[in-house]
Structure 1
Amino acid sequence: MRSTQVLKSILLVSTSLLTFSAAVSAQETAENDVKPAGGAIVLEQIVVTASSVATNVKDAPASISVVGQEQLQQKGAPDITEALRTVPGLNVGFGSDGTRGISMRGMGSGYTLILIDGKRVGSGLTTMRHYNGDLDWVPVDAIDRIEVVRGPMSTLYGSDALGGVVNIITKKSGDKWTGSLTTEWIQPESKATGVTKKVGAYVSGPIVPEELTFTAFGNISRKDASDPSRHNDIQTPGGSDDYDVAGRLTWTPTDNQMFELEVGTGKEKYKPSLADGAIDTSKTSIRRTTASLRHVGEWDFGTSTITASLEDADNHHNTTNRAGDITGDTTINVRSYTLDGKVSMPLDFLFEQNLTLGAEYRHEAMKDPENLGKPNSVTGTTGSTETSIWTAAIFAEDQIKLTDDLKLTAGLRIDRHEKFGTHASPRLYLNYDVNDNLTLKAGWAQAFKAPNMRQLNPNWVQTSRGRGCGAVGGPCEMVGNPDLKPETSNSFELGGIYVQDNWEAGLTYFYNEIDDKITSARKASLIQPDGTKYVQQINIDRARTQGFEGNLSVNPHPDWTWTNSFTYLIESRNLETGMPLSADPKYSINTELTWQVREDFSVTGGLAFYGKQVDYVSTPETLTAQNVSAYNIANVSFKYDPTENFTFRAGVNNIFDKQPKSESNFVENGRSYFISLTSKF
């Protein structure tokens, strides 16, 4: 016990030293490199998510941040969502069952598209609740960087990218064998937060030099469930036993032709939060299997990319009746096939241009014997337990260099959806270099979000405990509606990036309007004699979000890096009901200071402030918004490299064990100590 107190004291003193040193006067440095840290943009980083061709952050036609592997490992985060919290404009939203998701600009996590190397992740379609999210199917050891694009990207990615895109970019094979093995232990101070243990590995190298390479990576992790009795018996985050493994062959028969074959599989087995003596009866697990084949060709006229991919996801769990009694078990399956391709061509017609033409076809099929095909008391019909949807699209994007300092990006995507027909998603974006230091950005885009396979099916009938029931209150039966229309948005942003010597700053104003928002009807479509309420999904709502996001990065001394990011939501609300659109804080501020004590040892201290936000709590007749009070979280970490092949990290997350003071179903991870060891070759 005494050693624990001593460790706390040392860490607190270290944090104080970091804070004091931030006030030291700046010292000129000859280095002009932009150092990636926290939520700072990385101006010289080449990114591939924000446009149809690779570009750097400064010239990208979107607001984009890059988070590298170093930042992902720095805090000893139990999942990737925690490591992304410092990105401006982004919030780790929370659900009624303790799960989390990525919300951008106050839109809610349902409006964020998750990609892995540009390929969609859709395993979340197998479930409506109790899912840890689509971000943790790749070990940190295999991640080169994560690109976060804020704002609608439907022109390039179609439906589901209305709020933004998170693209996990994995490491590419090199010309020599390399690899790493990382073990991590996150030990909370109390059972209020579950213990996390992880082992991740990565290996890559040539089989045939300069022609055939092999890459493999995998991860095994275990997270214990948090104890709800330590949080007034609210539903706290559950635990899980996870594994994932993937392999990739890359064949380059010539310098200008590349073929890439990748297969992978993984499983998440959930462990719910249980009271003392309770037995887990849910037996929930999600298994995901993927395969893809990609060709990249360099031609005289430009570059072509063709990708065919398959994702198969199963959700296996026990089924229960309304009384909570187990009635059997079932498997919900979602299978998605995607074929997409594009050709990028440099042109010199009137202006210097880079034109990209592309097309995509996607087919999704679902088998859901638990919720599909059920007798629909609203329509009086019974249907199949299987459903499917196909979509096809063509798109074009042209980057036009109007002058040496002014670039226009114009894009248009035409989607054809099996259920709701044709939809167009245009966008325009301007980048203007005022001088060598200041770049201004302005953009407009229209985007859409299609109803999912359940929402469009009249024989989807699923029990909701409250949140899905809208103002009707729960429990209820949610039912689908084949007449739904896609949600659409108009979005604008205006901002700038300023870089000079050893500091940089960015500020962006954003504005989004959503029409035809899908929600549950505000009165029951039907009430059964036993009191069960049937609530149909309808297009009724309008919503609006607007606010500011920004970042500031300073190198006051060659050995110091100070990074800051902030988000301020002017509003994020449903214009029909006045209710908040998502559980995002009014403001969030992240500040982080890294001291490179010597070449092989560094210390990082961080502080995050989260303003007042709301969660939803159900009453017998309605859903009301409840305030979650403002709070802050402090972290500190140490990194030591005894050799070039070995790295040791340790630290404390949530040093002061802060929690939001509310009765909502949301808790932060409590004070936790972590240790991480990485061996590389």
Structure 2
Amino acid sequence: MRIFCTTFLQGASATLLLTVLGPVQLAAQSLDDDLFPLGAINVTGSGLPTEVMDSSSSVTVVDQEDIRRVPPSSVAQVLQDVPGVSVTESGIERIRIRGESSQRVAILIDGQRVSDHTTYGTPILISPTEIERIEVVRGPSSVVSGNRAIGGVVNIITKRGADKPVEVTTSAGYIGSNPGYRATASVAGTVENFDYRLSMSKSDLGDRETPNGTLVPSGSEDRDLHAFVGYRFNDHYVGFRAQDYDLSAEVYTGDPAFKIDLPKRDLRKYSAFYEGADLTPWMSLLKIDVYRQTIDREFRNDITFAAGPSDMNVLSTSDDIQTTGGVRAIANLKFAPGHRTVIGFEYEDDRLQTDKGSTTSMTPPFGPPSVSTSYADASIRTTSGFAQHEATFGNFIGTLGLRYYNVDSDLDAYTVDGLGQPLQGNSDDRFLGSAGLVYTLPNDAILRANISQGYTYPSLSELYLTSTGGGGTVIGNPNLKPETATNFEIGGRIDRSNLVLDAAVFYTRSQDYIAAIATGAPRTSRYENVNNVDSWGFELAAEFDPGWQSGIRPYISASNVTREFNYANGYSTKDSGVPEWTGVTGLRADWATASLGGTWDVFLRMESEATQRDDTGAIVEQTGGWGTLNFRGTVDLGSNAVLSLEVGNIFDKAYRNIDQIDGAGRYASVFLTATF
């Protein structure tokens, strides 16, 4: 399949543009507002405020303008066009980076981790309307960002106050892919030294509509309440934030005899922080924050299958309460011209209490149902310190980083059917390192190189718990080792008046991957460190202004990833379930009439075929390549209101990604946002 079909795109773009916009005048736009803002400041890549252009890591900043262009159906949808990033849709959306599962991607909100102990990976528990910007680091980044950063890091920075005493913003719209709505309202402002924000967002999405029919059930609901207050005095700033987020989802399995329901995935979080700027001649920033969050999760799995002359039904339930508290202190130091240093300390206490149940019954019945219950209380305590130094010498910027980890975990209580079980523990301590180099070339270009390490400590489920689902049982292993990875990459960036480009090639070696291995007992497996993975490929993001009078600019965001799994039995395969090619390419511009203006964007989103094999070489799943034509645009209704529109999968193409539900058919989403 040809991935980037420019001739077809130009013809389709022109046709759709004339249909949607009619006879309007197209206006040229400077690449100062480009799709890939290389001048944006980020802190996730190096721990220091750094322009993306000068970062040795693969960093993308999704700013407020990017978010504004996309109807706010979910945070994951805002990120799906970042090179190397893909969205998984199985009831709750999650993020993969460079083919790594969401279990190996760190999700941070204001630099604070959202932890997860399920086999599905970390969801994003926040409304897209609460976000100021998102910083995405691709590739292992555990020196600066900590645990679960083998694939990369998504750091979501939330909104604070506003520039005037009272600013009211409302947004409401229809989401067509899963027919439903999202509505939000917020009031924010700054009064003397105080700033504040109060907001609410709610969505209710129906079942996914595809070219092959409606997926029943596949709907979801969420409700997000936010409160923030900050106070500034001289060079000091303190703030407090509270979040109350409720989420429920139905998981489409395609089999009426196999049902998964997620009736609750609720987050309660409270955090406070202090920021001090220029406290001494050698300390430009001191930041201390503390937080406590509780995630309340319910899981239901109901499966029926043939068992000889009868049908066996297994109903598995899990009611979890996960409580996480942490403290973090970071200081930015500058002792000499051309030198900057960040040092930090983090402590996290992550506890999981879970009640699990399993009820097995037969049809026709053979005696009463068999019922098994368990209760577990387990915790992980992580202490770490890190430092990263940046030195500028001539045209070179070099960075060196080091983090020390000390992790202790314990199974503090465990009963099965009311009987106490042996208590166990696990610990780990190690150093992780990173190094980067940026060389500035003439004509607004740089070359960069980076070596970085990633680290994922086993989840409490993988270490200690016995979980039942899908008719099978997986047993925890307290002797597991952390998963680790080392990444090598080189790349370059260009940021000129008519061209923005960011490209990189990478190779990642990952070791001690955790997988569920059959024990020999029927439908029973156990977590083991058995697999190694080699990943390599390249990423490209570019936008070009050819100077056409129409102001139309072509752009591309593409990723090539090959992942070779090396299984414990000696079998190796590149059929890892990850498509070799993913990307989006399109044309966009500003448009204007006498009284209205806005943006338009016509683009192809594409993915190549993918095959997944198990450790015997047997094909587990296979999907074909696909491409969809899409339109996205905005209309500025005066200075205080904007209408955003998206028409997806215009040709109603049927497609599906591995381990996900079918993609949405032709749909339209429209949102109106007004600020007063």
Q: State if a TM-score over 0.5 links the two structures.
A: yes
Bigger drift between 541-550 and 11-20 goes to: 11-20
Determine whether 1:196 maps to 2:195.
Answer: no
1:202-213 superposed matches below 5 A = 202-207=186-191, 209=192, 211-213=193-195
Identify if the C-alpha distance between structure 1 residues 390 and 623 changes in structure 2 by more than 3 Å, giving closer, same or farther.
farther
Of the three residues 79, 102, 113, the one matched with 2:106 is 113
Does residue 552 (structure 1) correspond to residue 552 (structure 2)? The answer is no
**Pair 1:605 & 2:597 matched:** no
Q: Secondary structure at the match of 2:199?
A: strand
CA contact under 8 A between 2:91 and 2:251: conserved in structure 1? no
Contact conserved, 2:577 with 2:658, CA < 8 A, in 1? Answer: no
Pairs within 5 Å for 1:161-200: 161-176=149-164, 177-187=166-176, 194-200=178-184
Does 2:538 align with 1:538? Answer: no
Aligned to 1:214: 196
Q: Which amino acid aligns with 2:236?
A: Q
Matching residue's letter, 1:183? A
More displaced 10-residue stretch of structure 1: 73-82 or 643-652: 73-82
User: Which residue among 428, 438, 447 is the counterpart of 1:421?
Assistant: 428
Would you say the 8 A contact 1:455–1:479 is kept in 2? yes
CA distance in structure 2 between the aligned counterparts of 1:273 and 1:203, rounded to whole angstroms: 37
| Aligned-partner SS, 2:67 | helix
Q: Do the aligned partners of 2:229 and 2:241 also contact (CA within 8 Å) in 1?
A: yes
C-alpha spacing 1:106/1:246, structure 2 compared with 1 (3 Å): same
Judging changes above 3 Å, is the alpha-carbon distance between structure 1 residues 217 and 578 closer, same or farther for their aligned structure 2 residues? farther
Find out whether 1:366 has 2:337 as its counterpart: no
Instruction: Please list, as runs of the form range in 1=range in 2, the aligned pairs for 1:394-473 lying within 5 A after superposition.
Output: 394-401=385-392, 403-418=393-408, 419-457=426-464, 460-465=465-470
C-alpha change, 1:464 and 1:615, in structure 2 (3 Å) is farther
Q: Which amino acid aligns with 1:597?
A: W
- Summarize the alignment of residues 124-523 of structure 1 with structure 2, pairs less than 5 Å apart: 124-125=116-117, 127-129=118-120, 134-140=123-129, 142-176=130-164, 177-187=166-176, 194-207=178-191, 209=192, 211-226=193-208, 231=212, 238-252=218-232, 254-273=233-252, 282=261, 284-298=263-277, 299-300=279-280, 301-302=282-283, 303-318=285-300, 331-348=319-336, 352-370=338-356, 385-401=376-392, 403-418=393-408, 419-457=426-464, 460-465=465-470, 475-521=471-517
AA of the residue aligned to 1:306 = I
Query: Following TM superposition, by how much is the alpha carbon of 1:623 offset from its aligned partner in structure 2, in angstroms?
Result: 6.1
The two structures have a TM-score, normalised by structure 2, of 0.83
C-alpha distance 341-60 of structure 1, shift in aligned 2 (>3 A)? same
Q: Distance in 1 between matches of 2:607 and 2:11?
A: 21
* Offset, 1:440: 0.5
Q: How far is 1:83 from its partner? A: 2.5
The structure-2 alpha-carbon separation of the partners of 1:90 and 1:320, relative to structure 1 and needing over 3 Å to count, comes to closer
Query: Given that residues 456 and 482 in structure 1 are in contact (C-alpha distance below 8 angstroms), is that contact kept between their aligned partners in structure 2?
Result: yes
Query: In 1, distance between residues paired with 2:333 and 2:313?
Result: 61
1:455 alignment partner, SS class: helix
The answer to whether the Cα contact below 8 Å between 2:88 and 2:660 also exists between their aligned partners in 1 is no
The CA deviation at 1:414 is: 0.2
Give how far 1:280 is off: 8.5
CA contact (8 A) 1:609 1:631 kept: yes
- Residue 485 of structure 1 aligns to which amino acid in structure 2? K
- 1:616, distance to aligned residue in structure 2 (A): 6.7
Q: What is the rounded CA distance, in whole Å, between the counterparts of 2:614 and 2:566 in structure 1?
A: 20
**C-alpha separation in 1, matches of 2:73 and 2:268:** 23
Name 1:63's counterpart in structure 2: 58
Question: For 1:36-60, what per-residue CA distance to the aligned partner results, in whole angstroms no more than 9, with x for missing partners?
Answer: 32xx3x1211112111111111112
Q: CA deviation at 1:28?
A: 13
Is residue 674 of structure 2 the alignment partner of residue 679 of structure 1?
yes
Unaligned runs of 5+ in 2: 1-9, 20-25, 306-311, 359-372, 409-425
Aligned twin of 1:5: none
Amino acid at match of 1:89: G
Q: Post-superposition shift, 1:371?
A: 6.9
Shift of 1:325: 5.5
> Partners in 1 of 2:566 and 2:670 — Cα distance?
47
Q: How many residue pairs end up in the alignment?
A: 613
Deviation per CA, 1:604-624, whole angstroms, max 9, x where unpaired? 211112111235799xx9963
Q: Give yes or no for contact 1:224–1:271 (8 Å, CA) kept in 2.
A: no
Contact 2:356 2:374 in 1 (8 A): no
* Change in CA separation of 1:603 and 1:325 when aligned onto 2, cut-off 3 Å: same
Q: Please report the RMSD computed on the Cα atoms of aligned residues, expressed in angstroms.
A: 3.3
Aligned ranges 1:577-656 → 2 under 5 Å? 577-579=571-573, 583-598=577-592, 600-615=597-612, 624-656=619-651
Return the letter of the residue paired with 1:216. Answer: L
SS of equivalent residue, structure 2 residue 534: strand
Whether contact under 8 Å (1:247, 1:262) holds in the other structure is yes
Distance 1:166 1:185 in 2: 27
Please, what TM-score do these two structures have when normalized by structure 1?
A: 0.83
Structure 2 distance, partners of 1:276, 1:395, is 48
How far 1:572 moved relative to its partner?
0.8
**What SS is found at the alignment partner of 1:70?**
helix
CA contact (8 A) 1:227 1:273 kept: no
Q: Is the 8 A contact 2:591 2:599 kept in 1?
A: yes
Query: Partner residue of 2:34?
Result: 36
In structure 2, the partner of 1:575 is: 566
Q: 2:69 aligns with which of 74, 96, 114?
A: 74
> In 2 relative to 1, CA 255–604 (structure 1 residues): closer, same or farther, beyond 3 Å?
same
Match of 1:378 in 2: none
